[in-house]
Amino acid sequence: MELIKNFGLDPLLLGAQIINFLIIFYILKRFAYKPVLSVLKKREDLIKGSLKQAEESKKILEETLEKEKTILKNTQKKAEKIIEDAKNRTQEIARETEEKTRKQTEYMISTGLGKIAQESKELEKRIALKVSKLAIEFLQKSMQDVFGEKEQKQFLDAALKKIKKVDWYED
């Protein structure tokens, strides 16, 4: 007991120091460690989350680029096919048009030739008619002074018959 007293041990002081430290312990735990550790954890989570997000974004970007490449490739193929089809179609249309034109031309030529032949015939007929009229007129005028009216008539009728006969045969 003497030894303890020499060292200045006092139960009241000892109790006070124990209570004091327990209060300090609580204050530090409540107002220092807890908020700091929670902020550190939050920050760590935030950094981890951001890194993860960045990694995911990078992955998505790579995938998008890959998709873009594939889409471009496919589009290029499609475009090439469309161009090829268009070329083929154009050639086909050109061929069809050519064929159609050729047929139309042939038809036009054949119809034209028929018309020309018909018109030539009509012209010939008209010429023949004109020539007949001219011949009759010429005969009338030539016979006016030479023959009498009766003879003229007989002669003209015979001539007309002959001309008509020629016309009919030629038709």
Partner 1 sequence: MFSFQSEAIFHLGAFRITNTIIDTLLIDIIIFAASFVLAKNIKLVPGLYQNIVEIIIQLFYEIAESVSEKKVKKIFPYFMSFFIFILLANWSGLLPGVNSIGFFEKGKLVPILRSSTSDLNTTLGLALISVAATHILSIKTIGISNYLSRYFSLNPINLFIGILEIISEITKVVSLSFRLFGNIFAGEIVLLTVSSIFAVLLPLPFLLLEVVVGLVQALVFSMLTMAFMAILTTPHHDMLDNTRKARH
Residue type, 166: V
CA-to-CA dists, residue 68 to 80, 105, 161, angstroms: 18, 53, 98
Query: Taking CB under 8 A as the criterion, which residues in 72-131 touch partner 1?
Result: none
CA-CA distance, 138 to 131, in Å (whole number)? Answer: 10
| Options 22-30, 108-116, 134-142, 163-171: segment touching partner 1 (CB under 8 A) | 22-30
Question: Does residue 1 belong to the site contacting partner 1 (CB under 8 A)?
Answer: no
The token pair that represents 22 in the structure block: 């327990």
* CA dihedral for 134, 137, 143, 144, sign (positive or negative): negative
Considering only 25, 85, 130, 138, the residue that binds partner 1 (CB under 8 A) is 25
The token pair that represents 171 in the structure block: 């038709």
| Options 1-9, 58-66, 89-97, 122-130: segment touching partner 1 (CB under 8 A) | 1-9
Binding-residue total with partner 1 (CB under 8 A)? 33
Question: Does residue 23 belong to the site contacting partner 1 (CB under 8 A)?
Answer: yes
| Options 2-10, 62-70, 77-85, 94-102: segment touching partner 1 (CB under 8 A) | 2-10
Nearest distance, CB of residue 57 and partner 1, angstroms: 22
Specify whether the backbone of 8 is left (phi greater than 0), alpha (psi in -120 to 50) or beta.
left
Question: Does residue 47 belong to the site contacting partner 1 (CB under 8 A)?
Answer: no
